[in-house]
Structures are given as structure tokens and as C-alpha cells.
Structure 1
Amino acid sequence: MTHQQILDKLAAKHLVKSIDDDMARLTFDAMCYEKDTEKQLSRILPQLLNRWNCILNADEISNNYKQKTILVLSIILHKYGFKDDTINKKAIDAIDLLNKEVVLSDDFFRKSEDIKQFIISPPISLKRKPSIPESITFYRKGDVISIQLENHFYAAYIHLITRMNESPVLEFYNGVFDKIPTWDDLKDLSAKGEFYNSGIERITRFSVYGLKYLPDTANQIQLIKACVDNPPVNPGLKESVGAYSVINLFKLQSVITKLFK
């Protein structure tokens, strides 16, 4: 039995692809900085869960989708040479819950004990960095989106899409919310700038690679409004240094933390 054979039984093509893409980006980055597998995992897991906890901890998401998500996380971690005992325990419980609800095929039911043993088996560490997935986005110029990070929500306006639909260039609204904001919450807000060491606050925009699916399979990104002609105004902000900063979806977490500290 292989990772892909198990994943194919889950009937969750886009969920699997999205988590696999995320793990490829995170693993590539971790292997650039750390040689030890445990140290790599300590870099990967907090960022991965900041994103996928938007599914696992959400009230509005079906329990079956949550169980599939935790199971895919466990198998994909194993595929990339990692294991987390907490996630693996939840994944084994998820197999029983999915079978109880008769969510998947008879073949999945028959292979359940084999899958459990596969999950707890020692993973094989990668010998070289994985390939970074091709960048593409389904977002468009004029989209206003909400981004969840832990228990807060941040909103951003998409100014343009780079090259051949590779990544959206976004600018944040100056607001922090306890729930997904509405357009009425945002339409009168100004843009959020970044403070430099000089004390000057400048216009700040980010080209975000890995911001792909619409709707987002991880429930982290929500479309608030499309085809908005007017970006947030930025009175008082000085000119930006360069057109925009190039980051990926996971670097965005630290960017948000720094920008809104």
C-alpha cells in the first residue's frame, strides 16, 4: 500500500492536492534551514496548522470533511517523512468515524486496519528537497478577501494578478476582526501601511504565491466581494519601496503578525 493509494480512497482530490502543495512548500523551506527532521517538523507544523485549523476548529464545517482533513494531513506528513503522534491518533479515530458514517467505499472499510498500521509506521525522510508546485491563482483583480490567522480575521484588496495568473498582489485594510468582516465593515477603511525603522509608514503590498483555490479548501481565505473598483485609500502613507514584496502563503502569516502587532 502506498500513500497515493490511500489518498485515492478518500474521494477528496482537491483537498489532497491542496495539502500536498502546502507540504511541498513548507518542506522545501524547512530543508533549506534545518538538516534534522525534528527541527524541520517544528518549523512546518505550526504554519501548517495555522492554515488547516481553519477547517478543524470551524463550527460551520461538516464533521466528515474535518475527519477527511485530519486523515489527509497525517498521510501527507508521512509521505514527506514526518509524523506527529497527536495528528496520527486523530487520524486513526477519523478512520473509525468515517466508517461509522459509511462515508467512503467498501474497499476503504476493508483496508482500514492496514491504513492504520501504515499511519503509525516509521516514515522515510526525504533525501532531497521536494519540487515546489507550479504557481497559479483563481483570484482576480478587484477581489476583497478575508484571511484568518488563529482567532482573528484580516481583510485585503487584490490590486492585480501577476504574469499568467501566477499570484495576486494584495494590500491590507487597516482593521482586525473577531469574525469574517462584511463589505460594510471595510468600505470606509483606509489601507494598512508598514512602519520602517525610520518611523515612516509606507504603502505596502504583497504578491502571494500559493494563494490558489477559490473557494479555499482550507477555509482560511474567504471572498467578501468581487469586482470592487476602488482600492482602500492610503492618505498619510508615504510611497512604497518597490512595487510589492514577493512572499508565499505561509510567509504571509509572519507578515500579518508583524504588520498588525
Structure 2
Amino acid sequence: MKHQQILDKLAARGLVRAMDEELARWVKHQMLYPGRSRAEIERGVIPPVLLRWRCLLDAEDIGAATKNVTRVALATLLHKYGFQDPGTTAGALAAVDELNRQVVLSDAFERQSPEIKKLLESAPVPLTRRPRTRRTLSFLQAGDVISFELSGRFHAAYVRAMHGADEFPVIEFCAGTFTRPPTWAQLSGRAAAAEHARARFGVVGLAYRPDPAHQVLPVDAQQPHPPHGGDPLPGRGLWAMTDIMSLQEDVRNLFPDARPTVRQNS
């Protein structure tokens, strides 16, 4: 049994592709640091990935079948890139059984479930070279307003511009933290989250609309007025370069007073 054989049987091509692209890019990024140990790379890879995709697993408007497919895809792709998280693996094994009980996927998936479980439980093989990555393209547009979830809290951002040929958006966060995705009425006329461009980021991987991880949700589109008060000082740069995974740490630093909300429906 190969990783791609499992992924093909999940019948979720778009979700699997997005997750695979993210993991390849993030693993490659973590492997760029010279002299890092295997344990250090693992600590750099796994927590941000689980934090991002937890948004889908906690979402109330996502069905159980999609969540179970996501659990299997996540464990499979982590294993493909040489990593394993005990909780994620256990969740995937239970999800395989539940998908079969609910007859969600094909007969071939059910027949090969023992082999699928065997692969997921086996020790992954660490990569010996950085994975290949694809050139990113974003479907967002300037003037879009989005909500970004982090640990059960929501933060709003405005798409100021698209970099290059729609390679990635440059966004600016609005001041304020919300317990649910905000509306444009709550954001109109709001100041930037921090002055002097610290709230502005060029985000590689902020690509899909809708976001398959359910972390980024649309609020509004074609809004002509960005947050005010965040113009950069001379010599400070217009925005900081980041990735959809590392953006989580950027947001945590930008909103240090925000406290995570613990959800009970996972």
C-alpha cells in the first residue's frame, strides 16, 4: 500500500491537493535550517499543521464524513513526509472504521482498510531531501475581507494587493479579536491592528477560496477602504513575508492579549 493509493481512495481531490501542497512547502521550509536535528524539524512541522487543520475538525457546519476523510488524509500525508503524531494517527484509525461503518467511501477502501491502518501505524521513513513544491497562485483579490481563526478566536484582515501574477495576497489585519467570524459592519472604519506596517503580511499559501482547512473565511469583497492608521514608517518596509503556517505565530504575536477558546464539539 502506497500513500497515494490511500489518498486517491478518499475521493477528496481538492482537499488532499491543498493539504499536500501546504505540507510539502512547510516541510521544505523547516528543512532549510542548517544543522537542525530530526526532533527539531518535527517540532517545527507538526504543531502548526495540526493547529491550522483543527479549524475544520472543530467547525460546526462541516459534516462528520468530511472530518473523518480529513483525519485520514492528514495522518497519511504526515506519514508520507516522514512524520507521525500519535493523536492524529489514532484519530485516523478510528476515522477509517467510521467511514466504513457509514459506507462513505468505496468497497475498495473497505477491503484495503487493514493495509491502510498498517501503513499509518508503521514508523515513517524520514525524508533525505527537501520535497518539491509547486508555484502558488491565489484566488483572493484586492479588496477582499477575510476572517482568520486561531485557537477559537477570530481576526479580520483586508487584502491590500496581490503580489506578482496573483502569487499571494498582501493582507493587513484589523484591530480587535472576535469570538466568531466578524461582519463587515463590525469592521468598517476600524483601525489597523498595529501601526507602522507590523499588521501587514505577504502570505504564501493563502490561496484557496473557500479555504479547505476552514481557517480562513470570507467576510466581504470589493471593499475600497482598508483599515486606517497602519502606514509604514520610512525604512521599515511595506510588509513582512510569511506562510499560511507561520502566519499563525505572526497573529499570536500581533494579538498577544487574545486568549484561546476551548471548543467542546471536536
Do both share a fold (TM > 0.5)? yes
Query: Alpha-carbon deviations, 1:147-195, whole Å to 9, x = none?
Result: 00112110000011011110001111111111111111111311122xx
State the partner residue of 1:2.
Answer: 2
Whether the 8 Å CA contact 2:162–2:170 is kept in 1: the answer is yes
- Match runs of 1:1-261 below 5 Å: 1-33=1-33, 35-193=36-194, 201-204=195-198, 205-234=200-229, 239=233, 241-261=236-256
- 1:32 deviates by 2.4
State the partner residue of 2:259.
Answer: none
Corresponding pairs, count:
253
State the partner residue of 1:198.
Answer: none
Aligned equivalents of 2:232, 2:208: Cα separation in 1: 33
Aligned equivalents of 1:159, 1:117: Cα separation in 2: 47
Aligned equivalents of 2:173, 2:45: Cα separation in 1: 25
Gaps of 5+ in 1: 194-200
Query: Alpha-carbon deviations, 1:15-42, whole Å to 9, x = none?
Result: 1111111211221122223643333221
Residue type matched to 1:26 in 2? W
State the partner residue of 1:196.
Answer: none
Whether the 8 Å CA contact 1:192–1:203 is kept in 2: the answer is no
Task: List 4+ stretches of structure 1 deviating above 6 A.
Answer: none
Whether the 8 Å CA contact 1:203–1:234 is kept in 2: the answer is no
Residue type matched to 2:109 in 1? F
Report the secondary structure of 1:202's partner residue.
Answer: coil
Gaps of 5+ in 2: 257-266
Report the secondary structure of 2:32's partner residue.
Answer: helix
Whether the 8 Å CA contact 1:142–1:158 is kept in 2: the answer is yes
TM-score by length of 2: 0.91
Aligned equivalents of 1:84, 1:251: Cα separation in 2: 19
Aligned equivalents of 2:2, 2:117: Cα separation in 1: 13
- 1:238 deviates by 5.5
Aligned equivalents of 1:94, 1:142: Cα separation in 2: 39
Residue type matched to 1:252 in 2? L
Report the secondary structure of 2:21's partner residue.
Answer: helix
Aligned equivalents of 2:26, 2:164: Cα separation in 1: 24
- 1:131 deviates by 2.0
Whether the 8 Å CA contact 1:151–1:178 is kept in 2: the answer is yes
- 1:13 deviates by 0.5
The answer to which of 108-117 and 244-253 deviates more is 244-253
Residue type matched to 1:233 in 2? H
The answer to which of 98-107 and 28-37 deviates more is 28-37
Report the secondary structure of 2:127's partner residue.
Answer: coil
% identical aligned pairs:
39
Whether the 8 Å CA contact 1:142–1:228 is kept in 2: the answer is yes
RMSD: 1.5
Whether the 8 Å CA contact 2:197–2:238 is kept in 1: the answer is no
